[in-house]
Amino acid sequence: MKKRIAIFGSTGSIGTQALEVMKANKQHFEVEVLTAQNNSDLLIRQAIEHKPNVVVIGNEDHYQEVYDAVFDHDIKVYAGADALSQVIQMDSIDIVLMAIVGFDALKPIIAALENRKTVALANKESLVVAGNIIYEIASKNKTQIIPVDSELSAIFQCLVGEFDNPIEKIVLTASGGPFRAYQKHQLQNVSVKEALNHPNWKMGDKVTIDSATLMNKGLEAIEARWLFGLSANQIEVVIHPQSIIHSLVYFKDGSVKAQMSNPDMRIPIQYALSYPERFMMSSETLDLLSIKSLTFDKPDVENFRNLALAFEALEKGGNMPCILNAANELGVQAFLKGELGFLQIPALIEKCMENVKYIRKPGLDDYFETDRLTRAKAKELIQQFD
């Protein structure tokens, strides 16, 4: 039987690559739902090509445009934030690929798990913010979360067949982004264009900036804490510029497993959708002889403060990761708009972590309130930066 897939965030980098994977594997997958927030033009083109049962446009202002364009193709159209959670209740969905970026994915992820849908998770922020609640819901409903991020997918793949064996630690690899060899004075005036020029991966703007600041790796460390039941001292980050070894797992007996492939996001996307099977892929096969060498270095947490701040939030727990995430989202947005400098992003995050109320045992409502308060504080602070 074909797996019926709902892609939440189909017009983004992960969503578009997922549709490539599904198109190449029509015998295995069927597109059931596509959603987008604002990119109605691309959503319409995707809908006409892939013929989903339902499309959802988050921005209600685009509803009529989408409806008129796909009406003759027998595709149902819904709009608004509530529609995202409502379509997840459809019995015809087998897997929800959650590729919405940022905090906005939290409600639909919870809805997917409550409706016992397998979640292929490409959104790290939801676990960063409310990992305890998400995993409580997943456990209660016996629902599986399969990571899509390349590094976390690598850990997941290394643990297949090993879930009952004790882990010594995991190592998340980071390319280091475009500025890995920069000193602090060189980071003062880097441009948005330079920050978006990732050396290895093709990603959306937000994730690409997070990679440049190393926040992406910090968020993955917090995500890994919940995905694999680890403590902060069991998670390590190393700089691996070639992006060939995507992560490693150290076991108690001294053995180490690593997952390797060329830097191609279609590989972990397809694995998450096909798990526990592996399907043929047309991507270039890894050739170790052409690579010749693989190198590793310690991350520079003095010049790239975001990684250190993420581990501070991980160790403190409570709503601190939620504060970190909201401040980072606002900081990245401000940097992309030219309102903040590159080094002002960690400065903004640190001030928010110091000034927003800490809650040791937050509930779901506390997370939403923390997110709201942090965004308000971040907007206020952004105006004060020179």
What is the per-residue pLDDT for 368?
A: 96
What CATH number does residue 372 fall under? 1.10.1740.10
Report pLDDT for 164. Answer: 87
CB 127 within 8 A of CB 325: no
Q: Looking at 124, 147, 170, which one is the last position of a domain?
A: 147
Residues 175 and 298 in one domain: yes
Residues 43, 108: one domain?
A: yes
**Domain finish residue from 112, 147, 182:** 147
Domain-embedded: residue 7: yes
Residues 106 and 132 in one domain: yes
* Nearest C-alpha neighbor of 48 from the set 21, 68, 29: 68
Taking the C-alpha atoms of residue 172 and residue 193, their distance in angstroms, rounded to an integer, is 26
Could you give the CA distance from residue 124 to residue 200 in angstroms, rounded to a whole number? 20
DSSP 187-201: HTT--HHHHT--SS-
Report if residue 279 sits inside a domain. no
- Residue at 55 is within a domain: yes
Phi, psi for 217 (deg, rounded to 5): -75, -35
Q: What is the CATH number of the domain that holds 18?
A: 3.40.50.720
For residue 245, give its domain range: 150-267+286-313
In 3D, which of 331, 342, 326, 336 has the Cα closest to residue 375?
Answer: 326
Mean pLDDT for back-to-back runs of 10 residues, the chain (386 residues): 96 96 96 97 98 97 97 95 92 96 92 96 94 95 96 97 92 93 92 88 85 95 96 96 96 96 94 96 87 94 96 97 97 96 97 98 96 98 89
H-type alpha helices, the chain: 13-24, 40-50, 63-70, 81-87, 106-114, 125-140, 150-159, 184-187, 192-195, 205-213, 215-228, 266-274, 288-291, 305-316, 320-336, 344-355, 364-384
Say if 277 falls within a structural domain: no
Query: Measured between alpha carbons, how far is residue 272 from residues 28, 106, 156, 325 in Å?
Result: 13, 19, 10, 25
Same domain, 309 and 165: yes
Residues in a beta bridge with 256: 250
Neighbours of 322 (CB within 10 A): 27
The pLDDT of residue 282? 80
Q: Are residues 341 and 223 both part of a single domain? A: no
Query: What pLDDT score does 177 carry?
Result: 87
**pLDDT, position 292:** 85
- Minimal CA–CA distance to 16: which of 41, 42, 38? 42
Asked if 174 and 261 count as a contact pair (C-beta separation under 8 A), the reply is: no
Provide the 8-state DSSP code for 27.
Answer: T
Tally of structural domains, the chain: 3
- Residues 249 and 162 both lie in one domain: yes
Amino acid 18: pLDDT = 97
| Coil, strand or helix at 9 | coil
